[in-house]
Structure 1
Amino acid sequence: MTFHDPGVDDPLSLHGVVPPTVTAFHDDETVDYERTADHARFVVDRGVHGVFPLGTNGEFPLLTGEERTGVVEAVVDEVGGEVPVIAGVGAPSTYETVAHAEHAESVGVDGIVVVTPYYYPLDHEAALTHYRRVAEAVSAPVYIYHIPSKTGNELSLETLADLAGIENVAGVKDSSKDVPWLAQAIDAHPELTFLAGSDSLLFTGLEIGCSGLVSAVANAFPELVVDCYDAYDEGDEDRARELQSRVFDVRDAFKAGGAYMSGVKTALRMREFDVGPLRSPLRLADDESAATMREQLETLELL
């Protein structure tokens, strides 16, 4: 057993690189389900260990309920049974989250990812009630998605301790970038799987006990992030550090190309894998920004 093994109570034993796969759109911003499935295939064929449709990079808050169900079905149909498919089902209301969770389980996902409810403030009891109701509605493992910068709701370590006692809660995808919080959470809960949710903390996450990496960079350059994980897993920490440094450079390039999510889809175009635009009000990089980004990625020998 190594320090970065999955949680002992995680039936999926999630580990490795799990990209938050993109939702593809046609030029008129309607969902391109076939291309969305193709992107899941793109990353799986390049060695990732699981896929996470309808995360932040999947633009889930911008989709209708019907579109969200279609994305989940498309991804499960394409790669289900090959790698774990953990689908994002979170919504501001418990009612809608439960409905998404029940649908996702019915079409064959392996696990569900439940972002902390957003917009309205959430106290300790509300968080417990929310996750308990979702977990009771399905038999699939539930992974808590902690991203307080986007939801406005931070989970305390005390709240996490109570959430960990809910049957079916199997892990946490942490995008707080709060390393002390994450380290203490991992230390307190060997039963849970922890996934590092920031490309800036891939190596650090593994060092403090995460078993897996939810990486936006892996949407465009899965080979790079898989190599980083494999190097660490094989005990070559120097190589893993070098590859984390390259990921830092890719992050910088993505930001030069506009917003981070714009960088992902723009980079995919540069790899001749076009997944269309972002859905408004998000937008792809302008030509000048994209050209700057291309120069940086070519310098990194990634194109």
Structure 2
Amino acid sequence: MSDRTQPDDAVDPLSLHGVVPPTVTAFEADESLDAETTAAHARYVVDGGAHAVFPLGTNGEFALLTPDERESVVAAVADEVGDEVPVIAGVGAPSTYETLRHAERAADAGADGLVVVTPYYYPLDDAGAVEHYRRVVEAVDAPVYVYHIPSKTGNELSRTAVAEIAALDGIAGLKDSSKDVPWLGQVIADAPELTYLIGSDSLLLPGLDLGCAGMVSAVANVFPELVCDLYAAYAEGDRGTARDLQYTVYRVRDALKRGPYMAGVKTALDLRGFDAGPLRSPLRTMDETDRAALERDLRELDLL
């Protein structure tokens, strides 16, 4: 099995594939942005084998940042690793107006591609979704990747809407975190020319089987080598090893989900010697009991 197979009519100029960690945003103790450590985390995952990086995703706490902070994150990450791997930056917002401003600033700051989450909070119909992405691709000269995560946005894209969005010039791919395997399989069949990224650590191997070119993995924020080994085994046709590594990822994922929402990744990074600081309020870090349990779980897996 090849490392990357694109259909003849592929529309992704970056040919995204492999492991794409949704890198963290680091903060100082007072929750102010630490751009230097944010860039250092991008370096950490790239040195661990990542094929691209995705700042300002869910793990990057994008919704808690100001527009200036978002731009600073993109610039810092692009300056650190942009010469080595593609940098695809999250630019989503509830409104199209704000999304366009984020997209323009991210492109100017050095992003190679833009990840546009479905608008959130207000309900969105098919026509509104298609028009939203139409306006984004018309406003920027960078490949755009749809980010589908209905559990967080409250808006699920229909297959009809995705097919219309896929036909827009400038749409390069879709990152799916719906965990709806039949939906994803049918969307890939409907528009195979796009690049697809599976967005759940519970479905890395199934996502590759469905036709995804790569994986946006929170586990890879802490253990990039583990997820890169899984991808490499799959690309080499060693399904048995890939399956075993997916099982390990399941166990790591379960360990990281202990405690408050999203606290696991930064706590596990700290246990590996990388201090990314706190999460920004109202998110919060693990207490000592949960931290000790996480450390025990990871040591049992031989990962510390």
Same-fold call, TM > 0.5?
Answer: yes
Q: 2:227 is paired with a residue of what secondary structure?
A: helix
Aligned AA (2:55): P
Deviation of 1:5 (Å): 3.1
Q: Please, what TM-score do these two structures have when normalized by structure 2?
A: 0.97
Partner of 2:271: 270
How much is the aligned-residue C-alpha RMSD, in angstroms? Answer: 1.2
Aligned AA (2:267): T
Partner of 1:190: 192
Cα deviation code 1:234-258 (max 9, x no counterpart): 00000000000000000111123x1
Task: Assess if the C-alpha contact under 8 Å between 2:226 and 2:245 holds in 1.
Answer: yes
Task: Assess if the C-alpha contact under 8 Å between 2:20 and 2:50 holds in 1.
Answer: yes
Alpha-carbon separation, structure 2, partners of 1:210 and 1:20 = 17
Among 32, 38, 51, the residue aligned to 1:30: 32
Task: Assess if the C-alpha contact under 8 Å between 2:100 and 2:136 holds in 1.
Answer: yes
Task: Assess if the C-alpha contact under 8 Å between 1:18 and 1:212 holds in 2.
Answer: yes
Alpha-carbon separation, structure 1, partners of 2:37 and 2:3 = 37
Q: Does 1:293 align with 2:294?
A: yes
Equivalent pairs counted in the alignment come to: 302
Deviation of 1:104 (Å): 1.2
Alpha-carbon separation, structure 1, partners of 2:157 and 2:191 = 15
Alpha-carbon separation, structure 1, partners of 2:89 and 2:6 = 18
Aligned AA (1:269): D
Alpha-carbon separation, structure 1, partners of 2:78 and 2:218 = 20
In the alignment, structure 2 segments of 5+ residues that lack a partner are none
Cα deviation code 1:186-214 (max 9, x no counterpart): 11111100000000000000011000000
Partner of 1:89: 91
Q: 1:114 is paired with a residue of what secondary structure?
A: strand
Alpha-carbon separation, structure 1, partners of 2:20 and 2:257 = 21
Task: Assess if the C-alpha contact under 8 Å between 2:166 and 2:194 holds in 1.
Answer: yes
Q: Does 1:166 align with 2:168?
A: yes
Alpha-carbon separation, structure 1, partners of 2:28 and 2:289 = 23
Q: 1:56 is paired with a residue of what secondary structure?
A: coil
Deviation of 1:260 (Å): 5.1
Partner of 1:123: 125
Structure 1 pair 260–300 and aligned structure 2 pair: CA distance change class (3 A): farther
Alpha-carbon separation, structure 1, partners of 2:208 and 2:178 = 16
Task: Assess if the C-alpha contact under 8 Å between 1:37 and 1:75 holds in 2.
Answer: yes
Alpha-carbon separation, structure 2, partners of 1:201 and 1:214 = 10
Give the % identical residues.
Answer: 66
Partner of 1:70: 72
Q: Which runs of 4+ in 1 moved over 6 A?
A: none
Aligned AA (1:23): T
Structure 1 pair 241–259 and aligned structure 2 pair: CA distance change class (3 A): farther
Alpha-carbon separation, structure 2, partners of 1:192 and 1:237 = 24
* Aligned pairs (5 A) from 1:210-289: 210-256=212-258, 258-259=259-260, 261-289=262-290
Alpha-carbon separation, structure 2, partners of 1:19 and 1:67 = 20
Alpha-carbon separation, structure 1, partners of 2:111 and 2:131 = 23
Q: 1:284 is paired with a residue of what secondary structure?
A: coil
Alpha-carbon separation, structure 2, partners of 1:172 and 1:149 = 16
Cα deviation code 1:70-128 (max 9, x no counterpart): 11111111111200000000100111111111111112211000000000011111111
Alpha-carbon separation, structure 2, partners of 1:293 and 1:75 = 28
Higher deviation after alignment, 148-157 or 260-269: 260-269
Cα deviation code 1:154-196 (max 9, x no counterpart): 0000000000111000100000000000001111111100000
Among 124, 145, 153, the residue aligned to 1:151: 153
In the alignment, structure 1 segments of 5+ residues that lack a partner are none
Higher deviation after alignment, 76-85 or 100-109: 100-109
Deviation of 1:3 (Å): 10
Alpha-carbon separation, structure 1, partners of 2:3 and 2:49 = 22
Among 136, 139, 148, the residue aligned to 1:134: 136
Task: Assess if the C-alpha contact under 8 Å between 2:2 and 2:236 holds in 1.
Answer: no
Partner of 1:5: 5
Deviation of 1:4 (Å): 6.7
Task: Assess if the C-alpha contact under 8 Å between 2:71 and 2:109 holds in 1.
Answer: no
